[in-house]
Amino acid sequence: MEVQAEPELDADIAEIGRSLARRGHSAAALKRVPQERGLNLVGRDPKVRAALLQLVDVAPACENAADLAGHLNSYLGQVGDSGGRPVAIAAGAARVPGTRALTGQAARVAINRMAHRFIVGATPEQAAGELRLMWSHGNAISVDLLGEATLTEAEGAAYADRCDRALSTLALDARGWRANPLLESDAAGPLPRANLSVKVTALTPLVRPQAPGRGQRDAAEHLRRLLRTAAEAGAHLHVDMESMDSREMVFEMLLSILAEDEFRSGPSAGLVLQAYLRDSEEMLDEIIGWASRTERASPLTVRLVKGAYWDQEHIEAIQHGWVPPVWSEKADSDRCFERITRRLIDAFPLVRPAIASHNLRSLAHAIAYSRHRLLGIGDLELQVLRGLGDDLAEALARDGYRARVYSPVGDLVSGMAYLVRRLLENTSNDSFLADRAAGADLDSLLASP
């Protein structure tokens, strides 16, 4: 049933959103505007966007600058006349022998700069300084060790080893961060400084929709090991949700393990709920029901996101003749996001709400509703992605809210699939800075979906 916003709630949303917009006009945010405008220009033409995303994906495998330029020329050649003069010039420079290497080198520099915008460092040790800086600026952090679905059991074990070391490294380094009560506790209890996000599909190659039990058994032991390390280190372990193929297996396995006697006392843990799925509210029913039946020392954190696999889920469903599991219209997804936001806030402290979005309206709505429900300012967590939500993270910290920056760590090769998804997301018109760079007025950004 649709939940209508009361007039006073709408007024609060507008006030909060305008305050965040003003706070987001920092020097650092303004420096990002030209890049946002460039990405918006790229995103306007689907053929140009597809060509450049192909280039980003293949870049790590290119032997040299000339090789990269050859791919650039090939991909841009598929665009045709619709790309306009800039595309024609770039393709020509990549094709001509005298400028080919220089063009390839320029493309590699641009890709690396884009990667560093999203990826904090190659390893937790190398990222430590940047993570400490973000904390000092008033933002909590969740580290994501980049790595896609594994192909062998050895790869899964290696990813588990990396996660295990990262938990210990992050927890040790975080002890030296300066105290910040807002980021370290809420009404439900303490919040760990060290926070790691993991992907179950990177822990095992045996994720199969037709035989979920095999994947569960293989991943479960790795996950239990990581939970033990997190408990010993005093860290939070968050389990990401990915495509529909693995969602049910991950969901059932995580809740089952967290209900085991060994893990009732800790560590702090969480999962992800994707609002672009039509059945996300039914999943929330299951989560709240589980939380009401399961006694744990630390409430389950539910990270609410819109979702990053819309194209994949939609295409696969059409190919199989199924009804797509995702909302077909962005407004439907936005409305679902707001309904779940309210229900998560209503459920606190049974669960901890973590509202993750770059949509100004979505964040302002969560803050306004939490106020109406009389939650403390530290009882609601707001989350953004490194590279896409930096301006909002700065604004939230300045206005005194508890914000967490989801921060990828890994090398460029392992980060390519992640980077491509983030670039696609950045051109989906759900980024506050991108919207503002494109000239959107504030009233339209804060309007009810």
DSSP string, 12-26: HHHHHHHHHHHHT--
Cβ–Cβ under 8 Å, residues 355 and 362? yes
Which of 115, 149, 177 marks a domain boundary?
115
> Residue 43 above 50 pLDDT?
yes
pLDDT at 39: 60
pLDDT, mean of residues 270-294: 95
Supply the pLDDT for residue 211: 58
238 and 222 both lie in a single domain: yes
Structure tokens at 406: 């989801």
Last residue of a domain, one of 115, 143, 177: 115
Would you say residue 56 lies in a domain? yes
Average pLDDT, the chain: 85
* Structural domain range at position 80: 45-115
| 385, part of any domain | yes
Share of the chain above pLDDT 70, in %: 82
Tell me, what amino acid is at 380? L
Q: What is the pLDDT of residues 332-375, one digit of tens each?
A: 889 999 999 999 999 999 999 999 998 999 999 999 999 999 99
CA 226 to chain centre: 21
pLDDT at 3: 45
**How far from chain centre, in Å, is Cα 337?**
15
| Domain identity same for 206 and 351 | yes
| 160 and 137 belong to one structural domain | yes
List C-alpha distances in Å: 95 to 27, 90, 100: 38, 9, 6
Mention every residue, 6+ apart, whose C-beta is less than 8 A from residue 416. 56, 57, 59, 60
DSSP letter at 148? -
Q: Are residues 245 and 269 in the same domain?
A: yes
pLDDT greater than 80 at residue 423: no
Q: Are both 165 and 104 inside the same structural domain?
A: no
Q: Are residues 178 and 75 in the same domain?
A: no
Please give the tally of structural domains in the chain: 2
- Tokens 């459920």 sit at which residue? 347
Q: What is the mean predicted confidence (pLDDT) over 287-305?
A: 97
Nearest to 144 by CA among 220, 232, 239, 226: 239
Nearest-5° Cα angle at 385, 384 to 386: 120
Could you report the per-residue pLDDT of 79-116, keeping only the tens digit for each?
876 667 777 888 889 999 889 999 999 988 888 887 88
Provide the 8-state DSSP code for 277.
B
* Three-state secondary structure call for residue 443: helix
Residue 269 has what DSSP assignment? E
In a domain, 184, yes or no: yes
**Residue 204 falls within a domain, yes or no?**
yes
Shared-domain flag, residues 131 and 73: no
Distance separating alpha carbons of residues 138 and 68, to the nearest angstrom: 40
Count Cβ atoms within 10 A of the Cβ of residue 80 and give its class: 0-12 exposed, 13-18 middle, 19 or more buried. exposed
Q: Is pLDDT at 4 greater than 50 in this prediction?
A: no
Which of the listed residues 115, 143, 159 is the one where a domain comes to its end?
Answer: 115
Q: For residue 318, how many other CB atoms are within 10 A of its CB? A: 11
pLDDT at 26 over 70: no
| Gap between the Cα atoms of 317 and 323, Å rounded | 6
Asked if pLDDT for residue 158 goes beyond 70, the answer is yes
Whether residues 255 and 338 share a domain: the answer is yes
Is there a single domain that holds both residue 202 and residue 82? no
DSSP state of 385: E
- Which is nearest to 186 in space by CA: 334, 263, 301? 301
d(CA 364, CA 369): 9
For residue 305, give the H/E element and its range.
strand 300-305
Q: Is residue 271 in some structural domain? A: yes
Q: Are residues 276 and 238 in the same domain?
A: yes
Q: What is the CATH number of the domain that holds 212?
A: 3.20.20.220
In a domain, 27, yes or no: no
User: Are 137 and 264 in the same domain?
Assistant: yes
Q: Is residue 91 part of a domain?
A: yes
The span from the CA of 254 to the CA of 271, in Å, is: 8
For residue 141, being part of any structural domain is answered with yes
Residues 241 and 318 in one domain: yes
Average the pLDDT over 219-237 and give the result.
97
